[in-house]
Amino acid sequence: MKQIPFKTGILKNGLRWIHQEVRSPTGHIGLIIQAGSRDESPEEEGLAHFIEHLLFKGTKKRKAFHIISRIEDVGGELNAYTGKEETTLYASFLREHYERSMELIFDIVQNATFPDREIPKEKEVILDEIDSYRDSPSELIFDEFDSLLYPDHPLGRNILGTKKSVQSFSKEQVINFVKRNYTPERAVLSSVGGINHLEFERLADRYASNWKGKMDINSRTTPFVSKSEIKHVKKEIHQSHIIIGGEGISIHDKDYTAIVLLNNLLGGPSMNSRLNLNIRERHGIAYQIESFINSYNDSGIWGIYAGTDLETIDRCHRLIIKELTLLRDKKLGVLQFSKAKTQLLGQMALAQESNVNMMTSLGKSLLVYNRVDTFKEIVTKVDALKISQIQELAQQIFSSHEMSELRYVPLD
The whole model's pTM is what? Answer: 0.94
pLDDT of residue 216: 67
Residue 9 is classified by DSSP as E
**Residue-wise DSSP of 38-98:** GG--GGGTTHHHHHHHHGGGBBSS-BHHHHHHHHHTTT-EEEEEE-SS-EEEEEEEEGGGH
Amino acid, single-letter form, for residue 10: I
d(CA 25, CA 194): 6
The CATH number of the structural domain formed by 230-410 is: 3.30.830.10
Two domains, one topology: 7-208 and 230-410: yes
**Lowest-confidence pick of 19-23, 131-135, 381-385:** 131-135
Task: Choose among 331, 347, 336, 317: nearest CA to 232.
Answer: 317
At 377 the three-state DSSP class reads helix
The pLDDT, as a whole number, for residue 412 is 76
Cα→Cα distances 234→231, 241, 243, 407, 410, Å: 10, 11, 15, 8, 6
Average of per-residue pLDDT values in the chain:
95
Task: Show Cβ contacts of residue 194 under 8 Å, excluding neighbours closer than 6 positions.
Answer: 21, 22, 23, 24, 25, 26, 27, 95
Three-state DSSP state, 289: strand
Check whether 51 has a pLDDT greater than 70: yes
Q: Which helix (H) or strand (E) holds 145?
A: helix 137-149
Q: Superfamily for 7-208?
A: Metalloenzyme, LuxS/M16 peptidase-like (3.30.830.10)
- Give the length of the chain: 412
Q: Which helix (H) or strand (E) is 347 found in, with range?
A: helix 334-351
pLDDT in tens, 378-394: 999 999 999 999 999 99
140-168 b/e (C-beta count within 10 Å ≥ 16 → b):
bbbebbbbbbbeebbbbbbbbbeeebbeb
Q: pLDDT of 153-204, one tens digit each?
A: 999 999 999 999 999 999 999 999 999 999 999 999 999 999 999 999 999 9
- Best CA proximity match to 124, nearest among 179, 84, 91, 167: 167
Spatial distance between the Cα atoms of 99 and 202, rounded to a whole number of angstroms: 10
Sequence spans of domains, the chain:
7-208, 230-410
